[in-house]
Amino acid sequence: MTAPTTNRKWQRDTGGFTLLEAILACAVFSVAAIALAHSLQILGDIVTNVRREEEIVRTLRTMLEEQRFLRPLTQGEQVLESPFPEVTFRTVTSQFEAQNRDGQPLTGLYRVAVVARWKEGTQTRERTAEALCNEELPDY
């Protein structure tokens, strides 16, 4: 039996990658790595903003509790001292008009609201906490 003749011109070595294939694989890997890094950076920014907002909301609720027990309650706005340099807190107190079941006006009720405002990127964010208060403090 005779050995088949092969033409070396058409024979291809399949034992490894060509330089072009290796460069292409590196380019695809680089694009995927850059996309992953960018996604992780965005996720980190979101987590930072959420944690900051949670801290602001906790401070907002604490300030509301403090404002609820200040006497005398008077209508108006007041800027509060902020523990955060980039966040402004203000309190808004207004008389609340309501009626009981018999239709008689309830007196001495106030709506106390504490408003926090801050910049997040290019947006201005605002959160409010509010409560109704009676002018008369209960005896405990």
Each residue's pLDDT tens digit, 17-44: 788 999 999 999 999 999 999 999 999 9
Quick: pLDDT tens for 52-110.
999 999 999 999 999 888 878 888 999 999 999 899 999 999 999 888 899 888 888 89
Distances 137 to 53, 73, 133 between C-alpha atoms, Å: 32, 11, 9
| 105 backbone φψ class: left, alpha, beta (φ>0; ψ -120 to 50) | beta
